[in-house]
Structure 1
Amino acid sequence: MKKTVLVTGASSGFGRATAELFAARGWNVIATMRTPQEIPGTFVTRLDVEKPETIRAAVDAGLAQFGRIDAVVNNAGFGLFGVFELTPDEKVREQFEVNVFGVMNVVRAVLPHFRENKGGCIVNVSSGAGVFGLPMISLYNASKFALEGFSESLSYELGALGIRVKIVEPGGVTSTKFGERSANEASTLSSDVRDYDVFVSAASEVFAAMRASRSAGKDATSEHVAEVIFEATNDSSDRLRYVATSDILPLVEARRQTSESEYMAFMRARVGPKLRASPHRAQSARP
């Protein structure tokens, strides 16, 4: 019997590549997105993670189409880029509605079915930002840290029921529309506060250098990340985390394999002191 996977955020990027890969490997695919568009070889239906009624409807439609769901890939998400103080409250809440509460609502919708089947797999797409903090993405960091904590705790609860939980951690793959949306979100965060100008300029240079190194990486593609998602879904072991792109390995290893003091020194050498604006320079940036 063919297995069935439900993928959220399948209109582009990791989600679309994942839907296409699973279909090519012989799976039934329920490809979900806010605005449905055809993906050959898949069953497409609407799902907006901010609207629980569409989540329930998508799960029901997938079950009606294929009779069962064996795995869920929670991929839908976006990132806010900007200084925390200047981010409106409604955008803060939206960041968590999509990246955290949306995932929780999808999981809640499929768990009765997984319990009935006495098995299933939940793959939550996190990020390097779920492992280490970076300037200018404090809210995205917060949402992904929350996702990682939720996923780890959930894995203990569901493991006893034969339901596996996996976390996939990609870096900033430049071929997706994720960066495009983040840039659009950042452009809406205008403010009359000029004290951060020097810092923001320096931080932007750091991120530009990081993007350049990512684009040179052979595994920094949506297709490669989809392969890791497929691997995690089919891995029956108790392994929880899968780092999907090599560009973030140095930061991941620094976070997980060194002491706190060594890690903080490592990070501050890269994204700390260079971004500290002297009072004189900050003052000169004001109109």
Structure 2
Amino acid sequence: MPSEKTVLITGASTGIGRVTAEFFAAKGWNVAATMRSPEKSDLASKSDRIKLFKLDVTDQVSVDRAVQDVIGHFGGIDVLVNNAGYGLLGPFEAQTDEQIRRQFETNVFGVMNVTRAVLPHMRERKQGRIVNVGSAAGRLTLPLYSMYCATKWALEGFSESLWFELRQHNIKVKIIEPGMIKTDFFERSREVATKEGLTAYDEFVSLVMPNLKAWEDAGAEPVVVARSIWRASTSFWPRLRYQPNATLSVWARGWVPGHLSVRLVRRLFNAW
């Protein structure tokens, strides 16, 4: 068992996390699929290489316990895939302090909690990879996703800086920046902020929301992201960022003048 490769994936109950767990299992890896409610998941029935573990990224006790359980069961962790996250959607003025803090607790501090728990193990073994699932929204912005974009931009800075300091320990850091992916993210992994009596943004929301949904419906299948996570986890190429279904849009943001790229987003999503 210890000679086999093991990946720990957070947020593996549905969507990209679930598909990635099945993808790694099909490649012969041991998969520690973590989620808040493993008793509700049938993922373990998909492969005898997949074992479910209870893990809430916002609870450090839960994180530490799950990491130790995974190491105890599989003998080690070769790759950590920080995938757990959700999107807070809606006008910033409608978002409460609690909603904003919860968005950062999951998408940013949750990644940090799990990474910090795994690092001593990887340092001791003098090897490992940390693959952080960000978003193209960490390189560009979308209307009504101000806090989601803020967390993904924060993840970019954290990951890139971590890349420098962990190289000396033979631990590689990778960032996945997916574009629009066809999952149930728009219905399940989002929270829509509203505020009683606040109607000033109603027309804007009614114009933008259908376009956001249409773009997601036209997105790539989640296996496209799973393949990028696999490449990031196994390739010897010293590449930091991977952009499944987002290469053109991220490239354009870097080369198109700012005022033009913002105008393009406004036109795409009817955000006038």
TM-score, with normalisation over the residues of structure 1? 0.87
Cα distance in 2 for partners of 1:5, 1:91 equals: 31
Match of 2:241 in 1: 241
1:149-228 alignment runs, 5 A limit? 149-174=157-182, 176-182=183-189, 185-186=191-192, 189-214=194-219, 220-228=220-228
1:10/1:32 contact within 8 Å kept = yes
3-state SS of 1:271 partner: helix
Match of 2:6 in 1: 4
Match of 1:52 in 2: 60
Q: Which runs of 4+ in 1 moved over 4 A?
A: none
Match of 1:282 in 2: none
**Amino acid in the other structure paired with 1:24:** A
Match of 2:85 in 1: 77
Change (3 A) 1:269 1:169: closer
**Amino acid in the other structure paired with 1:267:** V
Cα distance in 1 for partners of 2:24, 2:271 equals: 43
**Amino acid in the other structure paired with 1:171:** G
Q: 2:254 aligns with which of 251, 256, 263?
A: 256
Cα distance in 1 for partners of 2:247, 2:171 equals: 28
**Amino acid in the other structure paired with 1:222:** P
2:16/2:225 contact within 8 Å kept = yes
Match of 1:130 in 2: 138
Alpha-carbon RMSD: 1.7
Change (3 A) 1:139 1:86: same
1:241 Cα shift? 0.2
Cα distance in 1 for partners of 2:208, 2:164 equals: 38
The superposition leaves residues 1-30 of structure 1 with CA deviations (integer Å, 9 ceiling, x where unpaired) of 211110000111111111111111111111
3-state SS of 1:178 partner: coil
3-state SS of 1:90 partner: helix
The superposition leaves residues 164-186 of structure 1 with CA deviations (integer Å, 9 ceiling, x where unpaired) of 00001112212x23211255x21
1:255 Cα shift? 1.3
3-state SS of 2:174 partner: strand
The superposition leaves residues 39-59 of structure 1 with CA deviations (integer Å, 9 ceiling, x where unpaired) of 232111100001111111111
Aligned residue pair count: 263
Q: Does 1:143 align with 2:148?
A: no
Cα distance in 2 for partners of 1:70, 1:257 equals: 36
Change (3 A) 1:241 1:76: same
2:85/2:189 contact within 8 Å kept = no
The superposition leaves residues 141-184 of structure 1 with CA deviations (integer Å, 9 ceiling, x where unpaired) of 0000000110000000101211000001112212x23211255x
Change (3 A) 1:200 1:235: same
Cα distance in 2 for partners of 1:34, 1:209 equals: 29
Q: 1:269 aligns with which of 243, 259, 264?
A: 264
1:88/1:189 contact within 8 Å kept = no
**Amino acid in the other structure paired with 2:235:** D
Cα distance in 2 for partners of 1:275, 1:31 equals: 38
Cα distance in 1 for partners of 2:258, 2:4 equals: 45
Indicate the percent of aligned positions where both proteins have the same amino acid.
Answer: 48
Q: Does 1:24 align with 2:26?
A: yes
Match of 1:87 in 2: 95
Cα distance in 1 for partners of 2:111, 2:184 equals: 20
Cα distance in 2 for partners of 1:244, 1:237 equals: 17
**Amino acid in the other structure paired with 2:85:** G
1:197 Cα shift? 1.5
1:274 Cα shift? 4.8
Cα distance in 2 for partners of 1:274, 1:9 equals: 32
Range with bigger deviation, 221-230 or 110-119: 221-230
**Amino acid in the other structure paired with 1:82:** G
The superposition leaves residues 219-276 of structure 1 with CA deviations (integer Å, 9 ceiling, x where unpaired) of x11112111101110022321000011xx33321111234xxx233132133169533
**Structure with bigger gyration radius:** 1
